[in-house]
Structure 1
Amino acid sequence: MSHTDYLTSDQLYRALNVRDLTDPDQGRHAIQALLQSVIDRLQPEWDSSLRYVRSSPVVPVRDNYDRLGYDPGDVTRARRYTRYISPAVMLRSHMSAELPRALEDYAGMSEVDELLVASGLVYRRDAVDRTHVGEPHQVDLWRIRSTPDTDDQDMLSMIGELVEAVLPDAQWRTTDVAHPYTVGGRQIDVRHDGEWLELAECGRIHPEVLRGSGLDPERWSGLALGMGLERALMLRKGIPDIRYLRAEDPRIATQMLTLDPWQHVSLLPAARRDLSVVVDAEEDEETLGDRIRVALGDNADVIESLEVLSRTPHDGLPEAARSRLGILDGQVNLLLRIVLRPIDRTLTSDEANVIRNVIYEAVHEGPVMELI
């Protein structure tokens, strides 16, 4: 990995100054109310003690991957998905990174049945649309017990309480899924507006994770559950656009303080721009979204969506088009549709063109520039 694969100081500063909506010290938010409703169902059900885990999102790569059982060659470790600060340090990509260290505190203890709540921002390279952001919020809910007999029935009970807290009376189902840090992993889907949507994933804590934190799996066991809080809140309230969670418009911001159903707010006009760009064949909507967010900085939230309308490899283009674009073998021609719709103002045509050009220059890798 070259030095260019690491975050710049400006990128790190920006990432660390994003408001954490799960943190009461940074102001009230409906995400906190939703999380509290989950805790209020799980803790009495288990009669467990409660522990909050909150620390810096800057974590050792070892904690984010190695201690959770990720293979050294796992694709998730790649620069395209992970925000590295140095070879050994990164911005956590999931809240599970906080748990191996937290579990170390139980070594030598007895009579433990505790619910650990680790919530906060995680850092991804993600698509740009109404349901994805580059710094989403997650919560990991881990139950640690000084007994080896935590079983699938305990997990199903946890799932039932979670769903009832997030979406009361919703239908739910589970499917098998593999995590390196759990056994018996399950994906939890809920039925909402006639379709099945993923809500969370869980499993029993893997014996090797326990052992790596100094806990004998013959004496300890537990459950590990992770949930994306934006998705959960948007389902609960019926919020149509993830950007609303941080909106300052009073018509929206006041609705982000409670779990009351979303009340429609009139949308401002959209500006649409279609771009033809040349990029490396390995680029996808996630990596393009990340490049665009970095380029736009504070203006990134003006983008409502980015859609790849077509993807044509070098060899699939007519010779005239290859010549016009200056495309090389190993590159592709993408037709992108950008929808610009700020939440709190209307863009002029000139402003939309400036943003269009910034996006174009951020993603286009061909020698021929088509700016407007």
Structure 2
Amino acid sequence: MDALDHGTKKKKAILKLSVDADDESHSGMKAKGDVDHNTNVANHYNRLQEVGLAARSQSRIFFMRNFNNWMKSVLIGETLEKVRDAGHQHISVLDLGCGKGGDLLKWRKGGIGHLVCADIAGVSVEQCRSRYECMRKTSHRDKGVFSAQFITADCTKEPLAEKFDRPGLTFDICSCQFVYHYSFESEAKANMMLKNACESLKPGGYFIGTTPDAYELVKRLEASDSLSFGNDVFQVSFQARGDYPLFGCQYHFNLDQVVDVPEFLVYFPLFEHMASRYGMRLLTKQRFSEFFHEKVKVNHHRSLMKKMASLEEFPGEHGGQPVSEDEYRHAREHCDRAGNAGSPLGTLSRSEWEAASIYLVFVFQKMS
């Protein structure tokens, strides 16, 4: 596992923001131009085609996607445990930015009672609904399948509470996976997204998620000779360097056959400050590398990782794709150092780890 440390030495990355998070006079900055980036994002995800497991297994980022899925599974599972430890049994969840329903099985395995799925991409929401209906039909435990509502809405512009089937509905958990950064185009959008995430949470409820780490992105940009960086599986391109506004700091993110959209830096101290206005207290903020190394020590998390094929076996078939020897040099060097050159090692390719390690995990709890 330690092979994943390759190329991830801790460096202090300073985001060049001269404005304090409390200075409201600077918080209304918007992205340049009048393009509705949310519409572009919705159109992109609506166009993405569902592919089968056989096709996904041939993807260059097959193991990275499984790894990210494992990270979400651990985060969701541990949060559900906390809710139950607090005495809650009929758990209600808001999946903010649900996509095509990739987390539906996680919620089912977690034994929740009710789920509200919301996303800007209407086609994705319908695919999510279809997955849910198939899950219900094939279930042998009717009482084990939660009730659900599906909402197509721009969660950065529209208050979701007005759309709930049950007036006054509150949640134990709001999950926002790989989505919140789209809202940081403007203060108004970021705040509406946060309002939707937190306003309907019960006292003691949790707001959990994953998002790109602005410090890491800026650090890599400043180290680059151009306005972009990446490798053969992902590319990040900025419009400029040296000036990073609190809102509307746009970059373009491309991930092999999965993502090709504009995104926005989330300055986390400001994010935390804004969340505090909704009674939220930050419990956890960890880079993916930190979260991984902590959770993989837990036996049942490690077992789940193997079950989900979240790491590639080295030496192995490399996901069925031809790749250079350099992509696994870190794994080979680790095996040599450990004296187990013939034993399989769990790892990701260098390119996959460079892509996965731009993200962080966060957990907030509602205090009032």
Please identify the structure whose Cα radius of gyration is greater: 1
Greater relative contact order, per chain length (Cα 8 Å cut-off, separation 6+): 2
TM-score range, shorter chain: under 0.3
Greater per-residue helix proportion: 2
